[in-house]
Amino acid sequence: MSLVAVTRKDLTGARRSKSLWAVLLLLGGIGALFGYLVFAGSGDGTADPARVRSTVAGLFRGVAFLVAAVVPIVALTVGYQAIAGERDSGGMAFLLSLPNSRGDVFFGKLVSRAVLVTAGVLLLFLLVTTAVVGDLLLTGSPLAVPAELVGGVVAGSVLYAVTFVALAVAVSSVFASRRRAVGGAIGAYFVTVVSYLLPGVGVASVVRAIHTDLLGFAAAPNLYALADFTSPFVAYRKLLNLVLPADTQFAPLHADHDPAWFLSDEFALVVFAAWLVVPTVVGYVRFRRADLG
């Protein structure tokens, strides 16, 4: 076998998973819901193209906000047992008894789970886009769907989803059992997503408390904003600001002060690169050195 063979085998096995179909159908259901809301009469036959583009941009911003909260759950659910599940079931011994290296197993699992989650994200946006186009055609409104906006939001969402797949597979590699991997996945979701949805709980709040209250330094807004920016949840919204119109962009990370260069929307690409590379390297090194006996 090889990396390709491991990937193909994992994809075949994953397609039979009821839990996987459940989470993919969840994504599809979200798309269908938004599609229905759009189809229920966003076009009136008289709207000008600029108004239609603004409506579409607002819709995709709303979908992106849900993606930011829901897709990590899907990715972590699909990926947390990629390695730990095989170790629990004894399947790892079979995989490694064949001419597979640990790298083949690790990266094969990573690629297959990334493909599955990407398919779910594409399904979500396919349903939303189809509903938008269908509604505009049926109501006689101008067919003014900005391709660069749709393509940019979809590409950013796929990158966001794959980032959490990499994190999930890394968590799965660090823990030796499925039960511990579940706990690690839940913890990862809370730290990277939930804490940013609760006021006063995010990383920036912790950094601010340590920096000012504990160490006694003067306030440093750029430092606190950078602490927030380390989350893929925040980086995803910053990344989408590169394609969203100004009136639908997500709020900046800074208040009324000159932001540092590392708080620009473009810096989100660096944040995502770090989240893709660091967990993958840590997970692979941990799996390569693990005692699987």
Q: Which structure tokens are listed for 158?
A: 């796929």
The pLDDT of residue 269 = 95
Report the percent of the chain where pLDDT is more than 70. 86
| pLDDT (0 to 100) of residue 280 | 95
What's the pLDDT score for residue 32? 67
- Write down the domain spans for the chain: 3-289
The predicted pLDDT at position 257 comes to 58
pLDDT at 253: 66
- Which residues of the chain are under the pLDDT cut of 50? none
Q: How far apart are CA 79 and CA 73, in angstroms?
A: 10
Q: What is the pLDDT of residues 147-185, one digit of tens each?
A: 899 899 999 999 999 999 999 999 999 887 888 889 999
